[in-house]
Structure 1
Amino acid sequence: MKKIACTLLLAGWFGFTSAQEPFETSIESLPGERWWGGFVALGNRMPFGEELAEQDLSKINYNNQSVPLLLSSEGRYVWSERPFRFRIEQGNLVVDSDHAPVEVVRAGENLRDAYAAASAAHFPPSGRIPQELFFSMPQYNTWIELTYDQNRHDIMQYARKVVEHGFPCGIFMIDDNWQNDYGNFDFKASRFPDPRGMIDSLHEMGFRVMLWISPYVSPDSPEFRSLERKGYLLKNRAGKTAVIRWWNGFSACYDLTNPEVVAYLREQLEENRRRYGTDGFKFDGGDVAYMQAEAYAYHDPEADANTYMQRWAELGASFDYNELRACWKLGGQPVVQRLGDKDYSWEALRLLIPDMTAAGLLGHAFTCPDMIGGGQYTSFFGVEHFDEELIVRSAQVHALMPMMQFSVAPWRILSPENTAICARYAQLHSEFGPYILSLARHAAETGEPIVRAMEYAFPHMGFLECRDQFMLGDRYLVAPMVSPGTRREVLLPPGTWRDDRGEVFKVSKKPRRIATDVPLDRLPYYERIR
């Protein structure tokens, strides 16, 4: 392996091929330097420590977004257009690339400087945001309540309960198994006798409606046979239609590296919108982990599994109402991202803030923190008595994030009193909607994150390891409860702050640690007033 001592500039791809010996770059750490980046789902481990084993951007995406970017607390960054491997070894960052040596850019003095420079150079903001409704109203997804039993009756009942319990109407997502087959975009007649009427009714109630889709195609379906004749399906190295194993079994797959296929698929989705009145789509799947780059022959000979994941997200970005869970690059684009499915647990709840701040540092400002209470449906199996405190605290964490999404129904698993608390925080989110929307527009113009790590907002003030509070823009510090209990400490930066109860705190030169009571109906947040 070729070893390179790295000190200065930008990484790129200069024509090297994977057949060459890999390039290893050891980046000697500056005093106190720590690193973020690579995978949104590793946000809870950022800044990385000595325990970080080698991570490979070409093999996995951890069920979430991945970006070939590493950022340092001392104002440096690493970027490469192609996937690479990285690890922490003896306190230094080591990066291996099969394509070209990578180098580190010195952009400034802190994490914020590093991010600003990387964003401007490699994923500049598009100037556009997704639909405003994402930021101003809660979302509702039928996954946890219905899983694979999507049907008209239960969907309408869920929507009516939203209204009955005082939750604001927003975006309504119908999840997996509404369609005849994967690769088909018509509703199952046996479960949806009048899909257009259902969607019209949801619209009349004040919802906008999105449908779950994936890039996979059920084998032996009419769509499979038609698409295979057209040559639109991904092939293996032997030139035969590839069969991919994903979480729902075995399927063929649209070859999204073929522009003709992308245009065809987009037209099928537009036909769905014309026929049923659908507003947009939740674009699931396409993960690097399922695509296994070495096994397939893409239409584009330069493409790999990461390229495929990027093409799927680019298709999503062409719709105003979109949501992605897996993505390669595309920072600054008007794509709604969501954190990967998390368990119903306190441990998973504690992942939300660091993973959300990581999403912002990787260019994905328009991100939703999974589903309230967790999106991993298997963790809800066999639960007889729900931890109501956990669900309420989860709703509070979401309330002052860019987006909040309900799935498990609060009115089914909570007491009336705790259901009302969740409704109150859904209302708080809509009250903050104009401010959150202003931050989204700011992000679209500047690239700056909406949810900001404390170290990003207040560098070199002792916030490196802070994972349980965040800044919403530059005006609000939010400190939710992410563990059981009714008391926590908050680290306030210098400035004058007024909390949600009206109490004012003046902090001078150094951050000040305060203890505060947090009854179940309270979300502590602090407005910077000076």
Structure 2
Amino acid sequence: MKFLNGGWMVKDGFDVRYAANVYEADVSDGSLTLYSPFGSPIHHPGQTLDGGLLTIEVSSPRPDVITTRLINHRGGPDRRPAFILDECDAQVDISEDDEAWVFTSGRLSLYIAKGEAMDFSYRYDGKEIAHSGPRAKGLVDDPDGLLHVCEQLDLGVGEKIYGLGERFTNFVKNGQSVDIWNEDGGTGTEQAYKNIPFYLSNKRYGLFVDTPGRVEFEIGSEKVSRVQFSVPGEELKYSVIGGADLKAILNTYTDLTGKPPLVPDWSYGLWLSTSFTTDYDEATVMSFVDGMAERNIPLSVFHFDCRWMKELEWCNFTWDERKFPDPEGMLAKLHERGLKVCVWINPYIGQKSPLFAEGASKGYFITNTDGSVWQWDKWQAGMAIVDFTNPEAVSWYQGKLRHLMDQGVDCFKTDFGERIPTEGVRYHDNSDPELMHNYYTQLYNQAVYDLVAEVRGKDEAIVFARSATAGGQQFPVHWGGDCSSNYASMAESLRAGLSFGMSGFGYWSHDIAGFEDKASPDLYKRWTQFGLLSSHSRYHGSTEYKVPWLYGDEAVEVTREFTELKLRLIPYLRTVAQEAHTTGVPMMRAMVLEFPDDPSCEDIDTQYMLGGDLLVAPVFSPDGVARFYVPQSEDGGLWRNALTGKTYEAGWHTEAFDYHTLPVLVRPGTRPIEG
């Protein structure tokens, strides 16, 4: 939220009160409570009248994590939902001397200055990693009379900020204004499906704002030398996380918010979709499956998108009998071919669906405040939204999916979950609608993931999800949403995936060749290379089928070659996934995450590490030219292209590649590819 008018004034309609200094402090039960007057320090008793006091609570949920809670008025009701965090005994130490209070958790300490000015210094192993100075902590009244609590941390020279979810804007977030608010906006805008109130700094700290509601970040875009973040309401709770490097910080953050689980090996293979609004039936499906087999292209998963159900009835969770008269028989045929089956679902029930009357009568939908069902006509006519705060609604919804799994469905694409209303609505458990907007996806994906784990077993559990919030990494896999069929969108998809990985998520996919429009044969082949060197790989589109033979004979060859390469990588990917599961470090890694001490890696968003041993640089140009960077290896050895055998020294390289090759470089001294 921007409220300043230059360096000294405030915009019309805004009122800002900053915490001045620490007037008094209390220590109890491993926490430190500070009291700070607004405006000016208190020097005589008369200044204690008619003024506010910011209460600042400092605590630690885990070692190397220091949590600060800024409170204006604490007398309001508890607001839910809230993130479920895994807290433990952090064994904190609190001390003070003439100059400061010192709060220590693990190797992270917070120095809080005494005296005339507010000064918070976060130090890891004695080195300052983050700092909040004067005119940083405060209250802001906006022109609508809504109160916000804000905080600012210094943005140092050369400091760069990463993460904040799956963002399609520049990979380095400096200069951006970011709203943590889930939206269904495609991949070409500042909106995002997966907004995560967590960022990483190359100064080696992480910042997590502990609210599922709206958080507004100004990363050097309000005050250019500060990161500002604010939330509406009476309090702001945030945690600074220290670590020896960015990987260590991700490990601690995912200790707190949840680790990504392992996923089944078959999920790493090629997924083929019917696409979105294409016209298909059982014959179409089998022709695609047989066509892949006839061309010796290994296929792992077949996905049925929305039109497996009758139009205008999404969702009814019933096969359209006009197209699929014998779904059990068809699914059995697919299983006989060694395939897993995924079907598209969402949490919305159109009024024409036979399930609408059932869900409405039993109170399973989000309601208006008068108790009537909340509905609108966007997406589906008269659409209602399942209320996952109601345990009976969860069981009802899971029951519909359980029947599909009994028929032979193996997993679900959990689409949507972002268009969640906030005004004039009520939840079964009286959750705050503003907080539920982002959090809804957590309950939705958990309900589906838990069912798959129950029916197929934990080792087989997987969803294919579009929306997420903090902690959503516990319900993989996620894909990148509605991208266009051009190189710019391919690049923005990669930027988003790298940001997503910097936000605690271990796995990520995208629509190979783009969702919107028709891909050119050139783009299809280049995106195929990129897609099959991602953690998960799926062909999917909107109005166009994405089977490779529609894009030429060479597209068939490229698909076959890179699918076979992906399958040879599975033993390596399994090891990389185990690392993601135990440490929170993603499978697809931004270069700065793997090489934090190499300044050249800080801005790179057109290549990535697939695990620690494979460097991948997709080709983003029809001329086939790639410009890529090779880091210095520890032993000075040469990187080797796994496809051509060519070796590379450290530094920047520019080279042209045909459709059967691209920079896939093996780190010196490693062997990630079998065969």
So what's the TM-score if we normalise by structure 1?
0.89
2:227 corresponds in structure 1 to 93
Measure the CA separation in 2 of the matches of 1:351 and 1:413: 25
2:391 corresponds in structure 1 to 259
Indicate conservation of the 8 Å contact 1:316/1:324, yes or no.
no
Name the amino acid aligned to 2:173. Answer: F
Q: How many residues align?
A: 508
Measure the CA separation in 2 of the matches of 1:148 and 1:11: 51
1:502 corresponds in structure 2 to 645
Question: For 1:476-491, what aligned pairs fall within 5 Å after superposition?
Answer: 476-491=614-629
1:388 corresponds in structure 2 to 521
Question: Quick check: which one's helix share is greater?
Answer: 1
1:375 counterpart (515, 538, 547): 515
1:442 counterpart (563, 575, 579): 579
1:206 corresponds in structure 2 to 338
Indicate the structure whose relative CO is greater, using CA pairs within 8 Å and at least 6 residues apart. 1
2:67 corresponds in structure 1 to 10
Larger radius of gyration: 2
SS in 2 for 1:459: coil
Deviations 1:326-354 (A, max 9, x none): 11222441421111110011111112322
Indicate conservation of the 8 Å contact 2:350/2:380, yes or no.
no
1:26 corresponds in structure 2 to 152
Indicate conservation of the 8 Å contact 1:150/1:176, yes or no.
no
After TM superposition, the structure 1 stretch with the greater mean CA deviation from structure 2, 52-61 or 322-331, is 52-61
2:351 corresponds in structure 1 to 219
How has the CA–CA distance of structure 1 residues 2 and 199 changed in structure 2, closer, same or farther, with 3 Å as cutoff? farther
2:478 corresponds in structure 1 to 337
SS in 1 for 2:601: coil
Indicate conservation of the 8 Å contact 2:616/2:665, yes or no.
yes
1:168 counterpart (295, 298, 302): 298
Measure the CA separation in 2 of the matches of 1:454 and 1:421: 26
2:197 counterpart (68, 84, 99): 68
Deviations 1:462-503 (A, max 9, x none): 212211110111111111211222232221111121222223
| Percent identity between the two aligned chains | 22
Name the amino acid aligned to 1:329. Answer: A
Deviations 1:278-319 (A, max 9, x none): 1121111111xx112234211122342122121111113212
SS in 1 for 2:654: strand
1:404 counterpart (533, 537, 540): 537
RMSD, matched Cα:
2.5
Deviations 1:195-251 (A, max 9, x none): 111111111112111111111112144311111111111101222100044434540
Measure the CA separation in 1 of the matches of 2:320 and 2:70: 47
How has the CA–CA distance of structure 1 residues 93 and 250 changed in structure 2, closer, same or farther, with 3 Å as cutoff? farther
1:157 counterpart (287, 298, 302): 287
How has the CA–CA distance of structure 1 residues 259 and 123 changed in structure 2, closer, same or farther, with 3 Å as cutoff? same
Segments of structure 1 that go 5 or more residues without pairing to the other structure are: 381-385
Segments of structure 2 that go 5 or more residues without pairing to the other structure are: 1-15, 21-55, 59-64, 80-144, 186-190, 453-460, 670-675
How has the CA–CA distance of structure 1 residues 463 and 295 changed in structure 2, closer, same or farther, with 3 Å as cutoff? farther
Deviations 1:161-184 (A, max 9, x none): 121222112011100021242242
How has the CA–CA distance of structure 1 residues 118 and 475 changed in structure 2, closer, same or farther, with 3 Å as cutoff? same
SS in 1 for 2:416: coil
1:424 counterpart = 2:567: no
Measure the CA separation in 1 of the matches of 2:246 and 2:628: 22
* Alpha-carbon distance, 1:321 to partner: 3.6
2:659 corresponds in structure 1 to 520
Name the amino acid aligned to 1:484. Answer: P
Name the amino acid aligned to 1:70. Answer: Y
Measure the CA separation in 2 of the matches of 1:221 and 1:355: 35
Deviations 1:149-170 (A, max 9, x none): 3421211212111212221120
2:467 corresponds in structure 1 to 326
Deviations 1:53-98 (A, max 9, x none): 3524367784522212122111122212313111222322110112
Measure the CA separation in 2 of the matches of 1:13 and 1:330: 23
Indicate conservation of the 8 Å contact 2:180/2:196, yes or no.
no
Indicate conservation of the 8 Å contact 1:454/1:470, yes or no.
yes
After TM superposition, the structure 1 stretch with the greater mean CA deviation from structure 2, 240-249 or 65-74, is 240-249
Measure the CA separation in 2 of the matches of 1:63 and 1:464: 23
Indicate conservation of the 8 Å contact 1:110/1:459, yes or no.
yes
SS in 1 for 2:147: coil
1:55 counterpart (168, 175, 179): 179
1:529 corresponds in structure 2 to 668
1:383 corresponds in structure 2 to none
1:283 corresponds in structure 2 to 414
Indicate conservation of the 8 Å contact 1:2/1:24, yes or no.
no
Indicate conservation of the 8 Å contact 1:11/1:79, yes or no.
no
Measure the CA separation in 2 of the matches of 1:74 and 1:439: 26
After TM superposition, the structure 1 stretch with the greater mean CA deviation from structure 2, 96-105 or 30-39, is 96-105
Name the amino acid aligned to 1:236. Answer: N
How has the CA–CA distance of structure 1 residues 513 and 27 changed in structure 2, closer, same or farther, with 3 Å as cutoff? same
* Alpha-carbon distance, 1:442 to partner: 1.9
Measure the CA separation in 2 of the matches of 1:11 and 1:162: 55
Name the amino acid aligned to 1:47. Answer: V
Measure the CA separation in 2 of the matches of 1:104 and 1:32: 23
Question: For 1:283-322, what aligned pairs fall within 5 Å after superposition?
Answer: 283-287=414-418, 290-303=419-432, 304-318=436-450, 319=452, 320-322=461-463
Indicate conservation of the 8 Å contact 1:25/1:103, yes or no.
no
Question: For 1:245-256, what aligned pairs fall within 5 Å after superposition?
Answer: 245-256=377-388
Deviations 1:244-294 (A, max 9, x none): 4443454012111111111111122111221x211121111111xx11223
SS in 2 for 1:519: coil
Name the amino acid aligned to 1:396. Answer: Q
